[in-house]
Structure 1
Amino acid sequence: MTTTDIPRPLDAEAEQAVSKKRPRNAAGGGLRRAVPATTLLWILACLYGLPVLWFILSSLKPAGDLFSYPLTLVPHDVTLSGYLTAWRSANFSQYFANTALVCVITTILTVGVSCCTGYALAKYDNKWLKVFFVCILATTMLPGEVMLAPEFLVVRDLGLYNSFAGVILPAVLTATGCFMFRQFFLTVPDELVEAARIDGARELSIFLRIMVPLSRPIMLTLAILSFQWRWNDYIWPLLMLNDPNKFTVQIGIQSIVGAQNINWSVLLGASVISIIPLIAVFLVFQRYVMNADINAGLKD
């Protein structure tokens, strides 16, 4: 006759010892670690956003309230006179059209040239390409002011002075764009390219049908950055253009500043108007960048 042992319930001390050996709740620990980081990010966001908020709210104040004591963040009397005066006094519609033309053309060319250059630097094994890449990176070690004089002389000798082409062409090839695309294409397996070649695809077809669709997140990111760079560019258009009908937005804002005094209300209104297209471009394209899958079409 056999007997079965009935397990006895654990006493309090044994149950406590077993509970100590159990792993902690991973979700709770991760949440506790994430809260301080999230709080720090919110603090940094507030520190960064406060000057921007002050700048925008100050543009809604009358000119007499900008330097009144004590300083106030929220305007007592909201007015749009600074915006209206800025838009009417300066030829902002023409400035916006000129800047939009320069930014759109430059952005398209920058993305296209950077994509082609990055693909060649990443997927073709040639020592001269490596030297060319080093030369491109070397330009980032020089201040932009050092390059202004030789660039101006070259553009002037080419007969492009006081033209939009003279503003666009020097800004087409950027070290940042080439580096971004090169680093991305290095992550694409070479087996994918070899498989396409075995199937009979030509180099141009491989680039246009495989590499370009895969690099869409990088293209959109560089497009946003390039548009922002060209929209905020001030020194180079100032050197290159002398026709008021070809001025960009940043030069137009500078023209509002008088020799003896500055109408701060008008200047703030013009500055806020100038950042609206940048915000619109970012809001339109950011969801495509955030939601895109960089590894789409690739296998682990």
Structure 2
Amino acid sequence: MKLMASKVSIGLTTTLTSILFNTIPAGAFQINTIATDTTGVKDIINELQQFVQQERMELANPDLKALDPTSLILGADSNPHIFFVNEGATKRNQLVFTASKGSNVIQSGVIFPDISCKSGCPISESNDGALNIGDYVELGKFTAGTVFKFQLLSKNFKDGLTDVYSADIADNSDGLAHLIAYSYKGGVLLGFEDLFGAKGATSGRNEGSDRDFNDQVFYISPMPLGTKDDSNPEQVPEPATVLGTLMGIGFIRSAVKKRKCQQQQKLEGANLS
């Protein structure tokens, strides 16, 4: 996508997102080439290019199913790998993630510190970047019920401040959707829009977005999907706990019954006297 040149000056303010962009440690994960892949994605990496379009991704393939990007939950234990599929942006963004279970954050960090194409990206405007198509990061082993949240950190070309884009619209800098997700062949396809604001808007911090969601495209596999019930399983008490509880209830009932009998006997004795 071509960014519109602009000399608009906006007052500089310190924001949490600008601090975040400049302080996240680079190289948190090792970036591997597609040739070393053992998940089978190297056999479909070229096939995945069909979903990287000049306009917003379409559901043209019956095997491609739209997902709720706010509910990327593991349905089984897995070791997800995230692959760089393609990009169509001039910005050099960062991809970060958080893995959590309930209220506990299991892991978080930078996946790709510089999302820019080195070679082979037909929709990219330059080939001087850091990533080749198919480069990937192994996130590690996670158990069923783990919830994944992916965020794109993108410097606004108007003022240099950092915008954070994720599946949660309320958390996005402009309050708009910036991430779409699809399931495909046992994995999840992610597409980000990295420009601030509504389509075509250029005033203020708006960057003339085309809302095509192909600025950065990734594929996660293996990614067996679960539901929100998997992330918040009902706590089933241990048999010993259940037995102890029942015995306790029985003891209380017995004690109450015995006390009532004693009170009744005292009452009858008082009446006789």
- Tell me which of the two structures has the higher relative contact order, counting C-alpha pairs closer than 8 angstroms and 6 or more residues apart: 1
- Please identify the structure whose Cα radius of gyration is greater: 1
More helix by share: 1
User: Given the two structures, how large is their TM-score scaled by the length of structure 2?
Assistant: 0.24
